[in-house]
Amino acid sequence: MKKSVLFKVSFDFANDDDANLADFGGNVSTSMTGNKSFPTPPVDPTLLGTQVDTFDADIQAALMGGMQLKAKKNASRAIVVESLRANGYYVQTVASHNLDVILSSGYYVISTNRAQSPLDTPTITSIENPAAAQLLVRVTPVDNARSYHVQTSTGSSVWADAGIHPQARRIVLPGLTSGSVYNVRVRAIGGSTGSSDWSDPQSHIST
């Protein structure tokens, strides 16, 4: 009998810069709120959201300079990381064999399958509107990927290059046309074949 694949939650968020960590924490808070797959997380998603809001405010305050404000920001960051770690272990315990359920929590995964070729195909987990004429794309990180190649199209147009991006969790596509619906697809770069297959496309309107 073929064994099911075991997935582990990625804790790489702890290495993110402040802005990306706050963005990731906010997404996890939103994704886990009311999520029936995770009824009893150790840190309530609403509390996590409050912690992220405090951290975000402290990030902005620390831009003014001063050791005291920076120390306060660092303390807020530590609280957010601790809460995300606690809920991440919980998510892994509950859904280690179900990729879709893990991804519904807002966390990303690392597969324990270390086969080198070909690269796994990334999955687009969300597309958002961070600002006017921009899209923010999040995809599942792929083991051994060097970067992520994005293409877009509108209507029945051909796919157009949208750049090579180093991070899976935060791919910003600027310079779009407001009011247009964009189709987005992503592939991982690297591995023995040079790249993975293209992800299933997703569509989103640029505001």
How much of the chain exceeds pLDDT 70, in percent? 94
pLDDT tens-digit readout, 54-92: 999 999 999 888 899 999 999 999 999 999 999 999 999
Residues 151 and 131 in one domain: yes
Q: φ, ψ for residue 69 (rounded to 5)?
A: -65, -35
76 sits in which H/E element: helix 67-95
Residues 140 and 81 in one domain: no
Structure-token match 């509390």, residue found: 47
Please state which of the ranges 16-20, 22-26, 36-40, 147-151 shows the lowest mean pLDDT.
16-20
Residues 122 and 145 in one domain: yes
Residues 77 and 28 in one domain: yes
Query: What pLDDT shows up at residue 5?
Result: 60
Provide the CATH number for the domain around residue 189.
2.60.40.10
Structural domain boundaries, residue 148 = 117-205
Domain tally, the chain: 2
Residues 25 and 64 in one domain: yes
Residues 41 and 101 in one domain: yes
pLDDT tens-digit readout, 91-126: 999 998 888 899 899 888 875 555 455 788 999 999
Query: What pLDDT shows up at residue 1?
Result: 37
Q: Looking at the whole model, is its pTM more than 0.75?
A: no
